[in-house]
Structure 1
Amino acid sequence: MVDELGTDISPETQQRLGRSLAHDDRLFVYGTLQFPEVLIELIGRCPDSVAAELTGWRAAALPGRVYPGLVPAAGAVAQGVVLSGLDAGEWAVLDAFEDDEYELRQVGPGPVASTWTYVWTSAVAQNDWCAQRFAAEHLDLFVAGCAEWRRLL
């Protein structure tokens, strides 16, 4: 399926979007997507958001990459934000943006129950990802890369 912008919508996204019309699905983001600059380059705006924590998960550093992956971790708490009000085209862009190693899943129970997030399915580093370090060292170049990626989509 292709949306009105010509973006391919995966079967998983189609299934989720079918439910989201009635349930206003939300997206928990814990890495680069929590930066307004990144969202603006990818989808043209910064959706409504609220700070959130996801218990039992951590935003792990990924070997050779500047962005994190969310993985289960007993006793850990992943910091992030919950985005709401995404339309079908925006979901499709975010789905296309995420690497193949991410899997879109619903998470809960907890403060972000029934919220979707991108879970990492490959190897991770021992240490956690640091949003402040990313912002200081990589954000500007990452945003420029997002703009180029979106231009080519």
Structure 2
Amino acid sequence: MHIFTYGSLMFPQIWQRVVRGNYRSAPATASGYARYALADDTYPGMIARPQTTVEGVLYFDVDAHDVAALDAFEGNEYRRDQIDVVIDSSEIVIACTYIYMAEQRLSSLPWEPQAFQMSRFIGSYCRDKLGG
């Protein structure tokens, strides 16, 4: 299964703490979605929004064990859905991604990857996965 990531999992330092396999990846874009910062947290939520796009990373052929690990990592505030993403400016690929379900927790501010607080996130959400 291909997995489109748009938040903390776009960063290899986080991705490699959650999954065991090594996967090929490529930049990708999801149209019809927007990514917002969560109020008082470091990670984003992506929701359907016409006329908007989200830049992210597509991981190819993720195995079932690692998909289960991703499901557990994302938790019950996210639902894994199948969407179309675009790679290489024109190729459409079917991938799964995690849609945020608790919209009331989203701020009105877009989440910016360059402002991601990696150390804070790892300390809060990945402590039990160090080295894994």
TM-score (norm 1): 0.72
* Equivalences, count: 123
Aligned to 1:58: 34
Which of 27, 41, 59 is matched with 1:83 structurally? 59
Higher helix share: 1
CA contact (8 A) 2:42 2:120 kept: no
Aligned to 2:8: 32
% identical equivalent positions: 27
Aligned to 1:69: 45
CA contact (8 A) 1:48 1:84 kept: yes
SS of the residue corresponding to residue 127 of structure 1 reads strand
SS of the residue corresponding to residue 75 of structure 2 reads coil
Q: Which has the higher contact order (CA 8 A, sep 6+)?
A: 2
Cα drift, residue 140 of structure 1: 2.3
Distance 2:65 2:94 in 1: 21
Aligned to 1:121: 101
TM-score (norm 2): 0.83
SS of the residue corresponding to residue 100 of structure 1 reads helix
Distance 1:146 1:84 in 2: 24
Larger Rg: 1
Change in CA separation of 1:64 and 1:147 when aligned onto 2, cut-off 3 Å: closer
Change in CA separation of 1:45 and 1:39 when aligned onto 2, cut-off 3 Å: farther
Change in CA separation of 1:101 and 1:55 when aligned onto 2, cut-off 3 Å: same
Cα drift, residue 116 of structure 1: 0.5
Aligned to 1:130: 112
Higher strand share: 2
Residue deviations 1:7-50 (CA, integer Å, cap 9, x gap) = xxxxxxxxxxxxxxxxxx20110000000000111224552111
Q: Could you say what the CA RMSD is over the residues aligned between the two structures, in angstroms?
A: 1.8
Structure 1: gaps (5+ residues): 1-24
Aligned to 1:14: none
SS of the residue corresponding to residue 98 of structure 1 reads helix
Structure 1's consecutive aligned runs of 4 or more residues displaced over 3 angstroms after TM superposition are 144-147
